[in-house]
Chain A
Amino acid sequence: MTALPTRKLEAYRYADIDALASVWRDLAAPEVVKIAAQQKVQQIWLPSAETVQVRRAEITLAEGASASIFALNSAADYGRIELDVTLAADANFELFAANIGDGAANLEVVTNVRHIGERGRSRQTVRSVLGGKAVGSYLGKVAVARGAQQTDGEQSVKAMLLDRGASANCKPELEIYADDVKCAHGATVGELDRDKLFYAAARGLDPAAARALLLEGFVGGLWDQAEGGETIAELARNALRAIA
């Protein structure tokens, strides 16, 4: 068992260390997922009933392998999703994650995506909806090794803040040692649009229903490509309705 991390570590700078301490001793080692060449794997990470949820995986993609992770991070106190991904040539990695919480929840998605072969492709799409004093974070590093030419990486991070006390941290990070790569990242933080809210109200939706619908639209699309994604979509919808 390694020592409890501190906030001095970059990957834990926004973590709730006290919450982490409560589960650290019994925390399972990161799940190791090795995906053979040309194989395709999909995982859907649903939230549990625990107030502190930490889920970690180390994913290794062999040549031409493909992994899609769909994750809903909505623990009441602290939720941490941590992915360490290594892509060989022609591998494809996709992450679709949502941080949804209010109160004093601290929800974070921390990724380290390493492209070590040529023509790898990674897509990370993270949406946070935060009410109360909740904190939602995305710390995402994309590292492109020397020789991993024609890597295509993309990080899209958007957060919606429902209350003044809520906050979002978006930190996409690129470390590129090859010269022919495409790495895009975008991050936005905003609040619900008043014009949209009034439009919905003018059609008869009460304020909470209007907010919930707009939030669904904001998060919506994350689960579209998930096979058997009905449950995660339903849980996300419920989580949004609860905080809207």
Chain B
Amino acid sequence: MLKITNLHATVAGKPILNGVTLSVPAGEVHAIMGPNGSGKSTLAYVLAGRPGYDVTEGSVTFAPASHTREGGGPAAPVADKGQRDFRFRGNDDGGVNLLALAPHERAAAGLFLGFQYPVEIPGVSMLQFLRESLNAQRRSHGEAELSGGEFIRLAKAQAAELGMDAEMLKRPVNVGFSGGEKKRAEMVQMGIMNPKLAILDETDSGLDIDALKAVGAGINRIMRAPDKAVLLITHYQRLLDYVRPDRVHVLNAGKIVRSGGAELALELEREGYQEVAV
């Protein structure tokens, strides 16, 4: 689904990513952990195409799975790769050069970035913002736009799943939302957009226990499917109690320095980045 090869990137001329290589197959959740300043958010922004984040070397191929598992329905989150039935994976062949696409084209291709700091847009209601965004994506797929009524039903259902008051959808985008509400709202947006690949940048920061559970459940519900994948960027292990990763990667100084299974996150939590990752 996502193949990152030797990715180097600079921000304002300063090298931040120094050769990231990473492959996320369809059907899997990969966690990226790492200390402050290791380049986690930069990786997220580079993948989403944020202006000012310049790729100097390397490539990123994005290949949304073109067909789902034969039986349909989401795959059970299987931790042990050996048990996974590879025949029922989505198709990982082909793919587009992600770095050649503009940010809105990446979104239309099926990539969703969950922001660490969701942006406030005064004067534009959440409903209008999301409806226009979704319809822009649908147009680019040659699909019919959703009517106002259809969209409101979809948005309300997604808000309800995340335990968000539907009235909040009428408010301007993220304006006056608490930190936790903003993160929940990001997951509501993800549910509405229904992406193939979600890159979630510290979606767990600023959440209390209940919100963390709700967000974790949201990620599993929306993204745990054989034709989808998640790149979960986080500092802490606690979200991984709810969203069990298939792989954990440790980013340090702009490079993946270690990869492992879900147990690696526990080891990091116990011993710290210094011990494990250097």
Q: Does B203 contact A (CB under 8 A)?
A: no
Total A-B Cβ pairs within 8 A: 76
B102 neighbours in A (Cβ, 8 Å): 201, 206-207
Interface range for B: 20 to 34
Q: Is B123 an interface residue (CB 8 A)?
A: yes
A window 186-208: CB within 8 A of B: 194-196, 198-207
* Separation of A187 and B88 alpha carbons in the complex (Å): 61
Q: A194-B51, A216-B123, A217-B172 are in contact. Are A205 and B104 (CB under 8 A)?
A: yes
Give the interface size class of chain A.
Answer: 20 to 34
Q: Is the CB of A214 within 8 A of B121?
A: yes
- A203 lies within 8 A of B124 (CB): no
Of the residues B50, B122, B133, B172, contact of A203 by C-beta under 8 Å: B133
The answer to whether the Cβ of B65 comes within 8 Å of any Cβ in the partner chain is no
Residues on the B chain within 8 Å of A210, using CB:
104
Let me know if A12 is at the binding interface, CB within 8 A.
Answer: no
Residue from B102, B104, B113, B140 with most neighbouring chain A CB atoms (10 Å): B104
Chain A contacts for B104, CB-based, 8 A: 201-202, 204-207, 210
**3 pairs of A and B residues whose beta carbons are closest in the complex:** A217-B123, A203-B133, A201-B103
Interface residues of B (CB under 8 A from A): 48-51, 102-104, 106-108, 112-113, 115, 118-119, 121-124, 128-130, 132-134, 136-137, 140, 172, 189, 193
Query: What are 19 A-B pairs at a CB distance below 8 A?
Result: A196-B121, A199-B119, A201-B49, A202-B48, A202-B106, A202-B107, A202-B113, A204-B136, A204-B137, A205-B132, A205-B136, A213-B128, A213-B132, A216-B124, A217-B122, A217-B123, A219-B123, A220-B123, A220-B124
